[in-house]
Amino acid sequence: MNLDELNSEQRAAVLAPDGPILILAGAGSGKTRALTYRIAHILAERKASPFEMLAVTFTNKAANEMRERVATLVGDDSRLPWVSTFHSACARILRQECHALGYDRNFSILDESDSQTTIRRVLEDAALAESPPLELARARIEQAKNEAISPEEMLASAPPGRETSTARIYQLYQERMRTMNAMDFSDLQLQTWILFQRFPEILEKWQRRAAHLLVDEYQDTNRVQYLIVKALAARSGNLCVVGDEDQSIYRWRGADIRNILDFERDYPAAQIFKLEQNYRSTKTILAAAGGVIRNNTERKIKNLWTENGAGEPVTYYTGVTERDEADFIALEIARLTGSGGFRPADVVVFYRVNAQSRAIEEALVRRRIPYYVVGGVRFYEQRDVKDLLAYLRVLANPADAVSLERMVGTPPRGIGAKSFEAITELADRQHITAFEAMGRLETYAKVALRIAKQAGMLYSWMHDLAARIPELSVRGIVEEVVAHSGFEAYLGTLEDATFRKQNLAEMLSAASAFDAEKSGGGLPEFLERVALVSDTEQIDSSGGRAALMTLHTSKGLEYPIVFMAGMEEGLFPHSRSADIDEEIEEERRLCYVGMTRARQLLYLTNTLSREIYGVRQESRQSRFMREIDSSLIRRIAPERHTAPVRPLSPREAYVDYGDSQLPDDEPGPGGDAFSIGAKVVHPTFGRGIVRRREGRGDGAKAWVNFDRGGIKLLVLKFANLRLIAD
């Protein structure tokens, strides 16, 4: 381990004595390097063994990167500490300790859709007078768990009416989850916190296991994570957190920026280090992003700087519509990946909401630019993959009624919704799991004998396979499920059978890869890994494709070229912000994070008119654009041939307004036929009406609302417009 590879601030943070430490790490300042070197230094100095260290972060990608870097520095795989995501760390703790809370160690982890299904059934069964809508109930339950609020606490403080009903639904949902021996994502953390509160001896055991606790991305921790971290660090006091309040962008899912802002209040003896040298971006990109973020008040002052060159100006393009914006993005990507020397994989296009991707995707398809969308349907959330996983979940946890219902219906075997109702009724009467009830269905008069026999045969086979799980690999289990369930033959009957069978092959590959790992574990561990897959794991920089994703997926990434589309008021910052200071500051942080993903080139784009969610409206320039020093920006006005793309034809002409607002009405010269309200026809866009005018003489332009082309801004000299009679 060569400490000479660190700058002075990184080195100071790495060598700091034990105790609470806050490393304020600006964007691109080498925080992972500082964190991994500190881990390696603690091990090298024998301050702790690998079995007394825990490093937590938020994504599997970040955890894997941290683990690999530590392995390189330490040079001995046997001396690696525990490096994990928050959710995985909590799952590991609960696998060992959940019996204290009344759970079996093979509990299921429900994904979002299965959790929603369970809440829906609770709502239907409870039939409360003032039941909340499903989405509201799910959101409030998740919020409560993120804030470490139990159902009992929520019920005790809820006012009469819908809030009380919601608290009651939360309570019933948790009871049903316990019956199913299941937890959702938020439960992993809440139940860990409850475990630590109720059982001090268990907490002390894990405090020893985390005698040196290091937390990455501390600015993104929510209340329950904050409490878990504080509890684990209370015994040793050796807590090192790394973060940047300027990059806190998950307030909507419970992240509390006060956790990092108030670190010195929580730990008065804390040592503070600031990493301010940026290794990623050009001086220009850094200055532009700094101009935006310095308008926030909820932040600690940092002065990021870089030894990198000035680089190119930030390119700012305004199109008339979202199609123009998308065409510009596609043309620029084509140019940069053609003669520009870049690869498609060097490019990312960020947008604020998923609905923006449609126009961009269409433009990329037209230009034959390979791309992929991050945050679409994940592999493990595809229908047939979830159907197969349902078998595995029931094998690992027979009490998982949600997975059981999915399993008995795929492939179709006559056990429909009414039959499954009978199974659950029998289970309730005999106080057994639904899986066991399936094996006793022939004794239940409400079900036809043919269906009962089908259920009994399925139960017998699954029961036998479950008994043999300890002697089988995960791939062996998957192969046996596929062979005996009729699943593969069923896939062959579907219209997209080839694609579905490819998914099946990929599942087998995933199981093989898991089996090949030295510490892979068994079926419960495989299912845990599947459940905790995140959007960022879909990112593939080696695949030769440009990436499209929302800005909230951008954390932890960097690209040579970044496009940020939709820099408009109401879109970014989002209309939900509604000038609420805290929300606007969150949106500004999101803008800053997006901008600082760029290494070499940064493009910011917007439109004068945008159709989104089926409504077209005029657009106004985002306030964030006005916060960037104009000397750092290169504006694009294609009709003046200043754009670094091919010259556009007159009928493609765009205009570049400094404030991106529709111009004021301006009459043309006397006698000009194309006055406001004139009806015209265009050879490409068809019939239209002149709505606004700008300029005079050869520079005269008109806004025309076409029947089939929408709003277009045309240079009249070249527009080839023709007046038509009323």
Could you give the residue numbers annotated as active site? 31-32, 216-217, 247, 597
Whole-number Å distance between alpha carbons of 506 and 9: 45
Q: Hunting for tokens 């007078």 — which residue is that?
A: 129
Report the candidate in 544, 162, 601 with the shortest Cα–Cα distance to residue 368.
Answer: 544
Write the CB contacts of 680 (distance below 8 Å, at least 6 apart in sequence): 674, 687, 688, 689, 690, 704, 721, 722, 723, 724
Rounded alpha-carbon distances, angstroms, from residue 442 to 351, 398, 409, 446, 453: 56, 19, 18, 9, 7
Backbone φ and ψ for 212, nearest 5 degrees, come out as: -120, 110
Whole-number Å distance between alpha carbons of 696 and 665: 13
82: helix, coil or strand?
A: strand
Q: Hunting for tokens 């949902």 — which residue is that?
A: 173
Q: Hunting for tokens 């043919």 — which residue is that?
A: 450
Cα within 13 Å of Cα(72), Cβ side: 10
Write the CB contacts of 517 (distance below 8 Å, at least 6 apart in sequence): none
Report the candidate in 349, 343, 347, 346 with the shortest Cα–Cα distance to residue 326.
Answer: 349
Length of the chain: 726
Cα diameter, the chain: 94
Residue pair 106/524 in contact (Cβ under 8 Å)? The answer is yes
- 414 token code pair: 């006559």
- 570 token code pair: 């109401």
Report the candidate in 591, 649, 637 with the shortest Cα–Cα distance to residue 316.
Answer: 637
Write the CB contacts of 369 (distance below 8 Å, at least 6 apart in sequence): 330, 333, 334, 337, 344, 546
